[in-house]
Amino acid sequence: MRLLLLRHAKSDWGDAGLADVDRPLNSRGKTAAVKMARYLNDQGLLPSQILCSTSLRTRETLARVLVCLPQEAQIHLLSDLYSQSEDDYLGLIRKHGGRAQNLMVIAHNPATEDTALTLAGTGDPAAMADLGEKYPTAALAVIDFDIADWAELQPGTGHLERFVKPRDLRDANG
């Protein structure tokens, strides 16, 4: 089974009156979300199920991902991905992942980074080092597991297949 951990794209801090949960993506975030969505499609990293935080910036990231996917995915909007963003997401993945072969989580830091670090027991040394350094907005960790159901998920049992940041990807025009 494969877990795709996508941190939401860059949000807009321009309106100080907005609650954190209501912050939208800024223009750089919108561009990065589309870039990552195209990458997911081009690489065949197609989720069958998506768990997404209910914050505006994660839902806007999700909307840009969906436009580039050639197949339908079951989507679950979970407020717990927002409210538990200071913890890791293992419990939520176990509870809501079911038997999805390709499960995507679109959420927040530090929980996205902590989840990736907790789960990745092995992986490409450069990708592991990169993951441990920083998990920027719109970054994606792809972690593979030898399990039949997400309820079986355990720390350290995943293989970090890759860690990709928007700045790692070439623009479509160059």
Does residue 147 sit within a domain? Answer: yes
Q: Can you give the CATH number for the domain in which 129 is found?
A: 3.40.50.1240
Count of structural domains, the chain: 1
Q: What's the pLDDT score for residue 173? A: 38
76 closest CA partner among 45, 101, 103, 37:
103
Q: What's the pLDDT score for residue 16? A: 86
Q: What's the pLDDT score for residue 68? A: 85
Does residue 174 sit within a domain? Answer: no
Q: What's the pLDDT score for residue 170? A: 73
Does residue 115 sit within a domain? Answer: yes
Low-confidence residues in the chain, pLDDT < 70 = 171-174
Q: What's the pLDDT score for residue 171? A: 57
Q: What's the pLDDT score for residue 85? A: 80
Name residues whose C-beta falls within 8 Å of residue 85's C-beta, 6 or more positions apart in sequence.
53, 107, 108, 109, 110, 111
Does residue 173 sit within a domain? Answer: no
Summarize pLDDT for 9-50 with one digit per residue, the tens: 999 988 889 999 999 999 999 999 999 999 999 999 999 999
Does residue 34 sit within a domain? Answer: yes
pTM: 0.94
